[in-house]
Structure 1
């Protein structure tokens, strides 16, 4: 009810605050629905059109196409959305209780900002920071909504995406915070739960249909996506509309505090006040016990949020998780810097001994050392940061020494920390969670950095590193992490009911190996099950979050149900998951991987908790030794040619998985025997509190991952460099596992050379980095996304090869992976891919032959691949590492009537490894480009013209059949400009890259 000019109270106007909610809802819906209605009426066929399909395949417009592209619907949207928001009122009393009156000094305010302000006033309590956080989130959401509403994707695609992602990210804490702060109103709580569930339940199918449209180009998928997108808008606005059920406790009063309205010149109001009535009168709430409603509210948010909030605990959790991330960053970097040395020595170098850096907790078995370390944990953690400082050490050997020392100190410090906290259940579990949540954070950050870690010692500013920032944050984290004195400085906390240290050590070894080998990068298990095109399984970018989600679910289950995950039944499920991952491909294999991820993270908390209560020298010292044995086993299955006894374990990844599960089984046996003797205890309140903060940290990591996935989502806008000339530029390069001669990650430098040479299709060799010793990386992800190319990874990490990959500007219609005969030496990988090149199907073969020492292997491989190439009736290109001299030995099998292939230039006598062969294409150019310090092998490039008509194909066939015409060289000016190689690399070239062997590229032209 409104009142006008109440002279006794000075009130000019008063009305119930429920109108703020209704006005906000009506205006917000009007903005979107008016644009949709007008857009469909005026521009239906235009706004349903997307980059792949139009009407009738697509039949419903997306939100962005409706509100951002055309007049007048864009104007209607902006008009109503502008009225919806306004200036935020200024609070004069920062923390009034709900019973108090809150005065607002208002110059102008829209319903959106008023809604946020009213919600804060309603929920604010003295000593509680959560309402402030939720209000700040609401303000941030409103501002970012204005960002993506007024800056459309047509105006500025990047900023539109930034605002949109920020808005979606802020929606999670806003929704959860509103649920947590809901007044005890049964109807409002119920509606908020339903709408929040509908909103977040819509996101998975939304992502699914977007992938169907963007990646698989399914007709009509974008329209379904658009319907789901519009439903999110409806749910989002409706969620805020529920405030109408709570705001009826407020009355908004506008007063004339100076009496100017009584005179003839009265123009405006001076201020406004909110005077809430007694809560619960007339709204049907009083009849319901408040206690039950509070429980219902807490249940709605799973107890994660409550009104209590402590910045001290937030900082503690952040420091713990970040230091856990630092530990995993250093541990995962150790293998990479070790691998550099046997890689260049082509065998055991002696530096491999640094893999034993992790067994430093054995020193804790010596009582004086244990006492020294525990009493100086801050100093030990600071010393462990040497692993982060290592990027400043330029010499590879000294850098390895620095990283090895850092890892040794990190393992020692963490083992001592857990042991010192073992007598306090809450503090111990908090540290254990920090260690494991740090792994999830490490995997998420690696995803955001294309499987590299920005604080690794192989990273610098030049290749995407942020080492200085990472080190600074680590120093602050150590100060916070070690601010509390150790609780246990000497005596073991174990008793007879906690099992044996030996079994615990075996479990720790298997656990750390599983976490490191399978979960330190979200793309590892996806590449295990990758089988080529057409896509039949998960993709690293679009489906990587499933791995993070499984890890998150496992961790949360492990801390809430430790006895359940410690049973033999759950262990059996984990074994089945590992078996499925090892034995099957595509989606079914990945489902097994998700089960494995869930189990490994679920069992981590109970296993690490028990291990911390025993002798750290045995549980962690011996445990890391077992881990190291599994790491070496993990390497030897593929590097069997370089180690004594290697052939005994060659290609037996299944043995590794069995060993991992058996050692985990030893730990489970320890847990089950302990649980059988001990009654189940209830968790204290302090334990619940720290769990909430770590759960929030996990939520933040998941949101970060999803935001990174959105930014990395493939655009599929792949165009060849010289489409007008119908030229295909092909290259072959052995990239030496993306480590350059000075032990720096080389992806950026590889990218630059490929881009500047304008290569359309390239075969990359020595690309399988998905092992502990290589950092669980995938160079092809960065190259494909940055260069705008399709990628086929080739035989996966569980196929025991050094890797072959194909990058293509042209769509890959089909690809098959081959493991060529290798009875003695290394397995030889090959990719047979069919590309759509200017409307013509062209086969491309990428191949890495066996070692020089294994002559019979290479002969069998030459025959296999030649038959494979000869069976193709289509134009074909071979991009290969053949290990043979030109015109000698197996060369004459590859370039023969059996294969139908021709050498790109048979007169090039200076080759030994890399070759380019072709058939049924017009060869127009060939060049060799020096490698600089990127790798140990040059880049070879050839240009081909794809024949279009039957006459052109017949002419090419004649030329291919005449050796003399095929080898007719011409000067550069005699070929079309689009057929020429870039002049950038002539003479001295750039950055150490130049045309060499011949100082200029070679061009060919038929007579």
Structure 2
């Protein structure tokens, strides 16, 4: 065939030109859009566009992309004009790429073309809907565009024609693009969280780099389109797969496969896609039911204040022991679908109102789920591919469960403590579970096979593995809470760093899939032990690095462990394994609940013993694997590229993208404003939230949020707030409250500090915070947060404290002395938000309210208190109220309002009030105080939703400035 030229147009063509000019036009106009806006913005509004919410010129001296193309005229108009002109070449580029790569029977070119069109439309979305116009839709379009960039980039690489130069450039640019995301996120966090001067300028350079790389990646098409002419005739034969590069087709395909991980080499079929989705969701259902059991059990010892007897249902998981009975084993393996359907009672439990019956319903669901999954793996053990597929579904389901919890602020939307009123998606979850079970479960028969090795050792390994997966990896923020030590931030944050846990889980699972013999070695086990020790003993980033190593290892070794267990007696490997796992669950709770269990003091505060035991159990499993493998010939393990592995790998990729998108949406704005900033008011509260389970066993975060918002609370201490244990669902209520209420949060001492939890939420920036564990020689550990807040330019210390139990008088005496000295040493205005376990004016009260502490009681005449107290010093107290709890918890919310003295006159007034008890406690009518000092009228009389002012019926108000001076 003779190629046509510009001078020699194809026969019958009125106009012809090389398709490479589409690439040139797209590149030139796109770059012009951004560069023209930058030039115009710097020329006209330089100081305005380099300024951010914290700093301006000269600390920040280069504008970000969003600031440049944002709302200012005329740079926004320049950008929108040229980006509109870019749309024509962009649609043409996507269409030409499809024509170049489309081949009969291939689905990937259609998929990539669809992604390309989607990116084009979403680009228009975030371009023409700015954050000022509609912040939510701007973010939705932007996230969609960024998420679609990954499949577009990898898909283009996978479909690249036989052009080594183009493939090389695409690999380089894609690597640069994705590599830039790491420092981009790092410097954004330095700016947004740590408020480092100049960090936003550095971030801006990486942001502009992404723009350059994004456009440059598509500019490479000029090398491919040079053989195309418009009206379109392929003059080079590339669309027919002709290779003129001199490089072998095999070598080129290997180069592309290496760049994309082989994901796009899948022989796509809708059936296998639906099967994979169903399998993964079915695995998610298992973890949802299992992790919900602890929550509904925990409700009962909370209300009994000790062992209730219902804790016995933790043994629901040992149902695989029934498989030791041959008729039962035969029935279950022949009726797997029925058994799996029965397990969905764990999802249907939300319809049961009675907490007791709901608990038994969940227990039945867990029992059937463990029985069904164990029997299913056992029945598939002679079919290596199907067995591996089921194990992958189980493990990818765990990753999906953790991602779903992140999206729902650490609550699983299908848990039995969720319903429509608090954000549950139980109906949809149950419907999808029914479809998934029907789609994936069928009996295929098996042959008896019992290989060498020990079923007992395998059970030990399964116990350690499941405990590790459940206790550390069922929520992406659990290990982060272990290493958290307060402000300034020196370690990871749940948002966005929780993705590092998900990424480590993903990498570990894929590594174990590809190299099972490698991850089963003693050397890798030794590295995991070091990681476990670092997580247990160290804090901040170094401690979290140990957690990342452990997360990687647990997911990597899970596949070999479960394959080995499936090939032995399920009654031993899974029945005994789950029994030992239950012992570990109880052990894991007893280290903090030692006051309520027989022999509890022996394991008091020994999370290190829990971690050592877990790793020893896993070590037994590793020993079993090494013994088994040593009896047969060793064959080097190479990455397996079977279809089902690639489908599950694709599922993992999508889950990771979903997590990253949610992390973007949940990223804190850190632009919080107090409710009455014009009055210099701090509204402070203390509330014992009873582990965010209300009286009817429903998750109570939204009800807590509603009351705090309506009372306009600026600073609140939350007690009984540490939920990062199996028995409490590995949750974190403070994440939801902080994001929804727009507050900074200090989680307080982590779960490895063995307390019931103390947390601080603040509308004011937390400058510094320290976590204390007060003297507790006999009873429960008493946590305290000492935080310094920047309140209207003045530093104020806030103490959040939970004293020990009533039974341990000496503990409480020692704690009162420690806390009082700590408060007395503070030279700043201070507030104590506390749970003191003492009568007003009696006992330890006189230590807390004393010359030693310098603190005053917010209302000495409040005779009805026993636990919650608010104390203060060097502030002007102006109001105090008690608000009934309804059915949210077992303790009311107490709130007080303070004025922060800033001028010398105000500070002099506070000094008078501090020394004059009569003036300090002078009460007045609410109409005698400014409006900003008053509590909302919403809760007067009968109030709303069971919340009202009580004990005093109305809030107390105290002497305003002019009366205090009198």
Length-normalised TM-score, structure 1: 0.93
2:352 pairs, out of 377, 387, 393, with 393
Q: CA deviation at 1:158?
A: 1.3
> Structure 1: 5+ residue runs without aligned partners?
86-109, 254-272
Superposed displacement of residue 683, structure 1: 7.9
Which residue of structure 1 lines up, in the alignment, with residue 203 of structure 2?
225
1:562 aligned onto 2:513: no
Matched ranges for 1:945-960 at <5 A: 945-960=899-914
| 1:601 paired residue among 540, 546, 555 | 555
Aligned to 1:19: 21
| 2:842 is aligned with 1:888 | yes
Change (3 A) 1:283 1:183: closer
Aligned residue among 116, 119, 123 for 1:141: 119
| 1:615 CA drift (Å) | 0.9
Asked if 1:765 corresponds to 2:723, the answer is: no
CA deviations on 1:509-562 (whole Å, 9 max, x unpaired) are 000000100111111111111111111111111211111111111111110010
| 1:162 alignment partner in structure 2 | 140
Q: How does 1:248-287 map to 2 (within 5 A)?
A: 248-253=226-231, 273-279=232-238, 285-287=244-246
The counterpart of 1:541, out of the listed 472, 495, 499, is 495
Matched with 2:769 is 815
Is the alpha carbon distance of 1:685 and 1:601 closer, same or farther for their aligned partners in structure 2, counting shifts above 3 Å? closer
**Matched-pair contact (CA < 8 Å) for 2:70–2:76:** yes
Displacement, 1:687? 5.8
Aligned to 1:384, which of 343, 346, 353?
343
TM-fit CA distance, 1:2: 5.9
Whether the 8 Å CA contact 1:374–1:486 is kept in 2: the answer is no
Equivalent residue for 2:370?
411
- Give, in angstroms, the shift of residue 441 of structure 1: 0.9
**1:324 paired to 2:283:** yes
Q: Which stretch shifts more, 765-774 or 152-161?
A: 152-161
Residue 334 of structure 1: aligned partner? 293
Deviation, 1:686, is 8.5
1:999 match: secondary structure: coil
Give the 3-state SS of the residue equivalent to 2:308 in structure 1.
Answer: coil
Q: Match of 1:511, SS?
A: helix
State the secondary structure of the residue aligned to 1:917: strand
For residues 782 and 34 of structure 1, the distance between their equivalents in structure 2, rounded to whole angstroms, comes to 41
Does the 8 A contact of 2:886 with 2:947 survive in 1? yes
The Cα offsets for residues 192-234 of structure 1, whole Å up to 9 and x where unpaired, read as 1111111100001100011111111111111111111111111
Partner of 1:265: none
**Secondary structure, in 3 states, of the residue corresponding to 1:908?**
coil
Give distance in 2, aligned partners of 1:862 and 1:160: 52
Distance 1:890 1:743 in 2: 34
2:468 alignment partner in structure 1: 514
Q: Answer yes or no: is 1:206 the counterpart of 2:184.
A: yes
Residue of structure 2 equivalent to 1:578: 532
Partner of 2:390: 431
Asked if structure 2 preserves the Cα contact closer than 8 Å seen for 1:738 and 1:746, the reply is yes
Q: Which runs of 5+ in 2 are unaligned?
A: none
Q: 26, 29, 32: which one pairs with 1:30?
A: 32
Question: Does residue 447 of structure 2 align to residue 486 of structure 1?
Answer: no
TM-superposed CA distance for 1:922, in Å, is 1.1
What is residue 74 of structure 1 aligned with on the other side? 76
Deviation per CA, 1:559-605, whole angstroms, max 9, x where unpaired?
00101100000000000000000001111111111111111111111
SS in 2 for 1:947: coil
Q: 1:163 to 1:282 in 2, by over 3 A?
A: closer
Q: 1-side partners of 2:58 and 2:912: how far apart? A: 46
Q: Is structure 2 residue 456 aligned with structure 1 residue 502? A: yes
Shift in CA distance, 280/826, structure 1 to aligned 2, threshold 3 Å: closer
Once residues 654 and 42 of structure 1 are traced to their aligned partners in structure 2, the CA distance between those partners, rounded to angstroms, is: 61
Distance 1:524 1:280 in 2: 51
Q: Distance in 1 between matches of 2:195 and 2:729?
A: 34
SS for the counterpart of 1:12 is coil
Deviations 1:441-480 (A, max 9, x none): 1111111111111111111111111111111111111111
Moved more, 58-67 or 845-854: 58-67
Which whole-Å CA distance do the structure 2 matches of 1:416 and 1:687 have between them? 27
- Once the 2 structures are TM-superposed, how far is the Cα of residue 275 of structure 1 from its aligned partner? 4.0
Q: Structure 1 residue runs of 4+, over 4 Å off?
A: 1-6, 280-284, 680-687
Find the aligned partners of 1:622 and 1:552 in 2 and give their Cα distance: 28
> How far off is 1:287 after superposition?
1.9
8 Å contact from structure 2 (residues 161, 238) kept in 1: no
Task: Give the equivalent residue in structure 1 for 2:62.
Answer: 60
Is the 8 Å Cα contact of residues 162 and 238 (structure 2) preserved in structure 1?
no
Give the alignment of 1:613-762 within 5 angstroms. Answer: 613-680=567-634, 688-762=642-716
Deviation, structure 1 residue 407: 0.8
List per-residue Cα deviations over 1:479-513 (Å, max 9, x = no partner).
Answer: 1111x43231xx432322xx110000000000000
State the distance in 2 between where 1:277 and 1:762 align: 70
**For residues 80 and 905 of structure 2, what CA distance do their matches in structure 1 show?**
58
Secondary structure in structure 2 of the residue aligned to 1:819: strand
Q: Offset at 1:15?
A: 2.1
Cα distance, 1:286 vs structure 2: 4.0
Distance 1:125 1:279 in 2: 11
In 2: Cα distance, 1:764 partner to 1:250 partner: 67
Could you tell me whether the CA contact under 8 Å between 1:128 and 1:307 is conserved in 2? Answer: no
Is 1:346 the counterpart of 2:310? The answer is no
Q: Taking structure 1 as reference, are residues 708 and 658 closer, same or farther at Cα in structure 2, changes over 3 Å only?
A: same
Instruction: Determine the C-alpha separation between the residues in 1 that align with 2:795 and 2:72.
Output: 39
Contact 1:53 1:219 in 2 (8 A): yes
With over 3 angstroms needed to count, the CA separation of the structure-2 counterparts of 1:137 and 1:848, relative to structure 1, is: same
Q: Is the 8 A contact 2:788 2:798 kept in 1?
A: yes
Superposed CA deviations along residues 761-791 of structure 1, whole A, max 9, x for unmatched, are 1111000000000000011111111111111
Output the CA distance in 2 between the equivalents of 1:327 and 1:449.
Answer: 18
Distance in 2 between the 1:685 and 1:509 partners?
28
1:3 Cα deviation after fit = 5.5
SS in 2 for 1:11: coil
CA contact (8 A) 2:102 2:239 kept: no
CA RMSD of aligned residues (A): 1.7
Equivalent runs, 1:989-1000 vs 2, <5 Å = 989-1000=943-954
- CA distance in 1 between counterparts of 2:135 and 2:272 reads 38
Alpha-carbon shift at residue 283 of structure 1 (Å): 11
Shift, 1:187, TM fit: 1.0
Q: CA distance change for structure 1 residues 793 and 3 in 2, over 3 Å: closer, same or farther?
A: closer
Contact 1:181 1:306 in 2 (8 A): no
> Which residue is 1:446 aligned to?
405
Distance 1:786 1:367, change over 3 A: same
Match of 1:100?
Answer: none
* Distance in 2 of aligned mates of 1:441 and 1:280: 39
- Contact residue 5 and residue 11 of structure 1 kept, 8 A: no
Check 1:789–1:500 CA distance in 2 against 1; reply closer, same or farther (3 A cut): same
Matched residues in 2 for 1:3 and 1:208: separation? Answer: 50
Q: Residues 952 and 83 from structure 1, CA distance in 2 versus in 1: closer, same or farther, beyond 3 angstroms?
A: closer
Which residues in structure 2 correspond to 1:788-799 (within 5 Å)? Answer: 788-799=742-753
Given candidates 866, 871, 891, the residue that maps to 1:937 is 891
Q: Distance in 1 between matches of 2:192 and 2:524?
A: 38
Distance 2:332 2:266 in 1: 39
TM-score where L is the length of structure 2: 0.97
* Cross-structure match for 1:118: 96
Q: Are 2:798 and 1:839 aligned?
A: no
> 1:863-878 residue pairs with structure 2 within 5 A?
863-878=817-832
Alignment of 1:844-923 (within 5 A): 844-923=798-877
Note if contact 2:831-2:872 (Cα within 8 Å) is conserved in structure 1: yes
